Amino acid sequence: MSSPENNILPKKPRKKVLSGGEKVRCILAKMMLERANVLLMDDPTNHLDLESITSLNDSMIDFKGSIIFTSHDHEYIQTIANHIIEVGPKGIVDRFDTTYDEFLALDSVQEQVEKLY
């Protein structure tokens, strides 16, 4: 006869799967701790909640190096960007030393938007 202790399987440690936002926060924290002088970021606000986006914005504003990023988040772009580099199918089209809203108001940009939409 087997004892009840023999019928109990050892518990396997549970693996914690991070959500998309948790993964992004970990990556951003690691980047900030490494004290890089250039950050290359692809849509950094993706998967983040409002509190995390606010914290990211504050960190990026205080960042002393260069930040090269892509984003679909208008408010984030307007807050962080002080130069706009327009990239087309054949490479860099132009560089603008302006805010994002000022860039969008340019006649040449308005013409392109009208052609696309």
- Within 63-106, residue ranges assigned H as helices are 74-80, 100-105
- 36-89 pLDDT tens trace: 899 899 998 988 889 889 988 988 888 888 999 999 999 999 999 999 988 877
Q: What pLDDT band is residue 1 in, cutting at 50, 70 and 90?
A: low
Q: What pLDDT band is residue 7 in, cutting at 50, 70 and 90?
A: low
Q: Report how far residue 75's alpha carbon sits from residue 94's, in angstroms, rounded to the nearest whole number.
A: 22
Domain residue extents for the chain: 19-72, 82-117
**CATH superfamily to which 19-72 belongs:** P-loop containing nucleotide triphosphate hydrolases (3.40.50.300)
Locate 4 and state its tokens: 């009840």
Burial (CB count <10 Å: 0-12, 13-18, 19+), residue 20: exposed
Rounded to 5 degrees, φ, ψ at 34 are: -75, -10
Quote the pLDDT of residue 59.
Answer: 86
